[in-house]
Chain A
């Protein structure tokens, strides 16, 4: 394994992750010599992803009636038909606030991903779990992680190293393509490999930048020193990425470089357009993972207060949830519900794309775990009870899939802890205050 991640960085990352108690992270010593499996022979949980959609769900048509395996598919999730066996659905989990405010479209997702409800408006999350996991399994690839914004908004990120360190998403399909498969991409299946002298020269100059950063640090105040430490971590990660570029990539049988799209999609939040953008990004993402470019991703399908529009509908999704009258017969807002149904279709697309991608004896999804969550349950009242969450994939055999789990009112962080454990982190607890839990969803863990 080529990781140059310092142990210090890993531990500090863990500390930021809201009371995640970690025994020993995955370090080189736990891996076999080619980094494809654990030293004890069990397969490496290779990829982790998150998927976010805004504005929750309608419980009447989202929550399956049946708990456990072979759950039924209510109308809002009917699109899971062909991929249900890969998906776990979670219902009846809560965000316990301990007197903290319910910051609309915000508190809910942060609680699940960072284990703590923000204390007040504008307070950004501490470390989100994708970063905690990234620090352990994300260091051997060219990109430690990939964040994407299907709305095209470069400001929407669901990945934070700390409150002031936001991982920026790629918001354009063509730019994302260039980033992964552009001129610097090295085809793992190409018979020729020659280290690029330019990359060597860049790496050498970067060492100089690191030296200068250390010099500069000594002249600065405490707060700035901490910021430069963050900067150093970023440069070292990038240096590691260049080091990877200088080695012949291990072959990746399933990797086939996709063709570039000449023209980017227009900007806009039209529902159909957002789904097209999402699906194009997913296709590229799947290939990026198959080509060993990254093991971690964060996809933002829509925003917390999603402004997705429908042609001919005056209001976008978010205002619709507040202003559309409830249909007395259905018991919910039909237009608002349709937006959510379409979000679920996009999720099903991602799951199918990963499940249908053959890798070794199974699929890419078999060696992955994706956590999907939203900002609330019913957006109309921003409820934080019965929070909708899902996972897809089996994390290389560490997690069962195809279950509907009833959380019996427990904290959302139980699912987060399950995810951390399924990804091989020796986390024994997650979350703070009322969101602190030591109980993962045991029946799913293998």
Chain B
């Protein structure tokens, strides 16, 4: 079928979909903002290539960081440009992956064919491989003209290097440097005078939301045959993708890594003289522990998001066990673990990955912990201290001040400080039973620790009380809805988005606060795929390569 016919079929399907939707209660509109291309993230790069070439290759681990904007790297990706330094990292990654694909031990199963002679070009075999891989990298069928160019390049490179495989590797690396691979573009098409996201762009948005990866062949096929533009066809794909626990797990990981500011782990180190058990391996495992807890809870068990703050279930390694005071006799292996009912620990806030990240290298910090709960988990902004505050005036060198609570009480007596400290410290002080490394303690400098505190209207006497208060705080689910919506759209939320976000939150509530329920609601939403009228359209009339 020609590309033109494909578009016509897609368009017709689109009209049917619109008619069907009209009978349902109207979904509020999102702000009409022209979508921008999103720079591929590290995770998307790895997830996508892994889905094409398998887990046996070594994938890059370092790309230029993308700036965090309005709480999310996913938003920054919508503005990010590629500097020469960033390009060099992409280029090196591309060559590394491409060279591995054609290595003798991999080529037999990663390439669909063999050249007639290894040392010479083979256009038919190169074309077969590049057409297949190219359509997955660019998330659309490869045009005949494009394919001819790539095959020609493979031909001349193979001649120059006297090797079919080296030539192919150079061209594959080139594809991985194409802006259409590195940027998730958002092309639209005009149907009945109305611009709408092209079906392939729709597939890409959906796949990046659910799997944090570019679409697989089946999803691209649904885009190509028009099914994705019908409510039923979309639903089939969404349900199929949500049922793939491993890949949704990757998607959910990426979202929470972003929401929970996981770049903090990159610089997490503790003073070894104060916390000797806190080794670099603990940092690595603490990060993974939080993700494992989250994925098991919200994906595998499909449990209520709010219970993430009170669940006693987690995973441990030998190294983590040293800090949790739990003997884990399985070296180099993750084991599921459930804290006992009377344990002082429950939920992700009692994990090292929160407690140690929001502490100093040599001591805990109720202020940092309280601020993180406000900003990261409740999406509230805590003002920075005024530039000219002299904190040292508050630092009483009097050694009679034994605990963090006593030291911080000095702040509350100063009105300039008290304004902010009263919104952070009563939360963080409830976590003082955990030191700067996350280890449990009942005293500080020999003095018993008082863990009473408060969060908005709730007051509590210990960490478990805080965990329950956070679980029940209405901002907790609102914050997740806002962040996931912004993450899905790849842009900051605007006031005009409020009604839609409220609608998404209703769907979230109706699902019993299942993250998969919220993902499904967004993925099935019409507005998620809507584009404003000003969106330029892509002229499509070329024949796709066979």
By a beta-carbon cutoff of 8 Å, the part of chain A in contact with chain B is: 102, 104, 121-122, 124, 144-145, 147, 151-155, 161-162, 164-168, 175, 197-198, 200-202, 204-206, 208-209, 212-213, 216, 219-221, 223-224, 227-228, 230-231, 233-235, 237-238, 266-270, 307, 309, 311-316, 319, 322-326, 333, 380-383
Q: A201 near B267 (CB under 8 angstroms)?
A: no
Task: List 22 contacting pairs A-B, 8 Å CB cutoff, sorted by A.
Answer: A104-B384, A147-B85, A155-B65, A168-B83, A175-B62, A198-B161, A202-B174, A205-B153, A205-B157, A219-B536, A224-B183, A227-B183, A231-B82, A234-B86, A235-B87, A269-B361, A311-B272, A312-B273, A323-B394, A324-B392, A325-B395, A381-B387
What size tier do the contact residues of chain B reach?
A: 35 or more
Query: A314 and B362: CB pair below 8 A?
Result: yes
Q: Which residue of B34, B156, B182, B392 contacts A323 across the interface (Cβ within 8 Å)?
A: B392
Taking CB atoms, residues of chain B closer than 8 Å to A324 are 392, 395
In-complex Cβ contact of B179 among A231, A270, A314, A333 (8 A): A231
For A164, the chain B residues whose CB sits under 8 A away are: 67, 79-81
The reply to whether A165 and B363 contact each other, CB–CB distance below 8 Å, is: no
State in angstroms the CA–CA spacing of A221 and B173 once bound together. 27
A105 to chain B, nearest CB (A): 10
Task: Decide: B67 and A166 in contact? CB cutoff 8 A.
Answer: yes
In the bound assembly, the distance between CA atoms of A233 and B174 in angstroms comes to 17
Which residues of chain A are near B150, meaning CB under 8 Å?
208
Q: Which residues of B contact A200 (CB under 8 A)?
A: 160
Q: For B161, give its contact among A145, A201, A233 (CB under 8 Å).
A: A201
User: Are B88 and A153 neighbours in the complex by a CB distance under 8 Å?
Assistant: no
Q: Is the pair A231, B81 in contact by a Cβ cutoff of 8 Å?
A: yes
Segment touching A, from B163-171, B207-215, B291-299, B500-508: B163-171
| Contacts known (A198-B161, A380-B392); A227 close to B269, Cβ less than 8 A | no
Please give 11 more A-B residue pairs, beta carbons under 8 A apart, in addition to A152-B267, A153-B266, A166-B67: A155-B65, A201-B156, A212-B180, A227-B82, A234-B83, A235-B177, A313-B271, A315-B362, A315-B363, A322-B391, A323-B395
What is the bound-complex CA distance between A268 and B34, given in angstroms? 42
Determine if B177 and A209 form an interchain contact, defined as CB atoms under 8 angstroms apart: yes
| A206:B174 contact, CB within 8 angstroms | yes
A382 close to B388 (CB less than 8 A)? yes
Given contacts A154-B62, A201-B161, A382-B388, contact A166 B273 (CB under 8 A): no
Is residue B89 within 8 Å, beta carbon to beta carbon, of the partner chain? yes
- Is A319 in contact with B360, judged by CB distance below 8 angstroms? yes
The closest CB in chain A to the CB of B436 belongs to: A314
Residues in A whose Cβ lies below 8 Å from that of B149: 208
> Assuming the A-B contacts A231-B179, A311-B273, are A153 and B157 also in contact, with contact meaning beta carbons closer than 8 angstroms in the complex?
no
Q: Sorted from nearest, which 9 A-B pairs have the closest CB atoms?
A: A314-B362, A168-B64, A205-B174, A322-B391, A230-B81, A382-B387, A234-B87, A201-B157, A165-B81
Asked if B391 contacts A323 (CB within 8 A), the reply is yes
A122, B362: Cβ atoms closer than 8 Å: no
* Contact residues in B for A270 (Cβ distance below 8 Å): 269
| Contact in complex: B82, A122 (CB < 8 Å) | no
B263 at the binding interface (Cβ < 8 Å)? yes
